Amino acid sequence: MSTDILKGKKGIIFGALNEMSIAWKVAQKAHEQGAQFVLTNAPIAMRMGEINKLAEETNSEIIPADATSVEDLENLITKAQEILGGKLDFILHSIGMSPNVRKKKHYTDINYEWYKTTLDVSATSLHKTLAIAKKQDAINDWGSVVALTYIAAQRIFPDYGDMADAKSLLESITRSFGYHYGVDKKVRINTISQSPTVTTAGSGVGGFDKFISYAEKMSPLGNASAEACADYCIAMFSDLTKYVTMQNLYHDGGFSATGVTNDIMDMM
């Protein structure tokens, strides 16, 4: 249902790979709520071509950018403002990738070159995006930036590997940049810590099927879906959440505050 909550707002959405992607749902809902935006993803991810369907459906343009490349990000932020005809009001950072997790390297025996890639793609890319946006003064006052994260930044989930370190860094960048951008321009920056969700990135984590069932039983409301996560992102981009910044916001059906549930006890 549209209430035009984002009417007149302009943005950039990173990370829509296919229909399962959280960013895909955010794009659909942002369009439904009256926003205009540019879609972006790594050039290699675009070869699959699925993003074209989303661009057509949401009447948006696509600008390829490798989120680790300062040059690509500068081009993206400049061009997005040209296409949209003004400064941005929101950015979704929905990017994560670990070569160590993909290639099943144990956390205690990681490849350090790959580790750099994990951190660069999944966390430093947020810093680069914000730094370029700030230099270009590309975000309107009270603009909102949301990055997606996972509770492995706070607690150990063994199969999440070095992505846990990346998420900790992502959340720290959110706080630190949120301070500076808030003071200078009233731009707010938050992370949303989402339940395990069936997507390409999610399913890459070892034992994901069992884990998602465990999280379902450990969450009083059950696991939050990608659609529900998209709704929360829309709320965070809207003017109804103007004083929320530098926060890690749990969107997990209560998982993060639960010690144990009767469902889990019954299984023991």
Ligand X SMILES: NC(=O)c1ccc[n+]([C@@H]2O[C@H](COP(=O)([O-])OP(=O)(O)OC[C@H]3O[C@@H](n4cnc5c(N)ncnc54)[C@H](O)[C@@H]3O)[C@@H](O)[C@H]2O)c1
Gyration radius (Cα) of the chain, Å: 18
Position 253 contacts ligand X (CB under 6 A) = no
Residue 144 contacts residue 89 (beta carbons within 8 Å): yes
Position 95 contacts ligand X (CB under 6 A) = yes
Q: 115 an active-site residue? A: no
- Candidate list 143, 161, 178, 196; residue touching ligand X; CB under 6 A: 196
CB nearer to ligand X: pick between 161 and 202: 202
Site for ligand X in 154-173 (CB under 6 A): none
- Candidate list 100, 190, 194, 247; residue touching ligand X; CB under 6 A: 194
Question: What whole-number distance in Å separates Cα of residue 101 and Cα of residue 111?
Answer: 10
Residue 177, Cα to own-chain centre: how many angstroms? 16
- Candidate list 153, 201, 234, 236; residue touching ligand X; CB under 6 A: 201
Q: 160 an active-site residue? A: yes
Residue 267, Cα to own-chain centre: how many angstroms? 33
> With CB under 6 A, what is the number of residues at the site for ligand X?
26
Edge-to-edge order in the sheet of strand 10-14: 61-62, 36-40, 10-14, 88-93, 139-149, 188-194, 248-251
Question: What whole-number distance in Å separates Cα of residue 73 and Cα of residue 125?
Answer: 9
Both tokens assigned to 80 = 């997005």
Residue 154, Cα to own-chain centre: how many angstroms? 17
- Looking at residue 8, the DSSP 8-state letter turns out to be T
Give the Cα-Cα-Cα angle 143, 146, 128 (nearest 5 degrees). Answer: 85
Position 17 contacts ligand X (CB under 6 A) = yes
CB of 225 to ligand X, least distance (A): 11
Which listed residue (160, 179, 243, 250) is catalytic? 160
Widest CA span in the chain: 59
Both tokens assigned to 180 = 């500076």
Which listed residue (115, 150, 181, 250) is catalytic? 150
- Candidate list 67, 139, 146, 169; residue touching ligand X; CB under 6 A: 67
Stretch that binds ligand X, among 28-36, 102-110, 147-155, 236-244 (CB under 6 A): 147-155
CB of 251 to ligand X, least distance (A): 9
- Candidate list 58, 66, 165, 188; residue touching ligand X; CB under 6 A: 66
Catalytic residue ranges: 150, 160
Q: Which residues bind ligand X (CB under 6 A)?
A: 15, 17, 21-23, 41-42, 45, 66-68, 94-97, 121, 148-150, 194, 196-197, 199-202
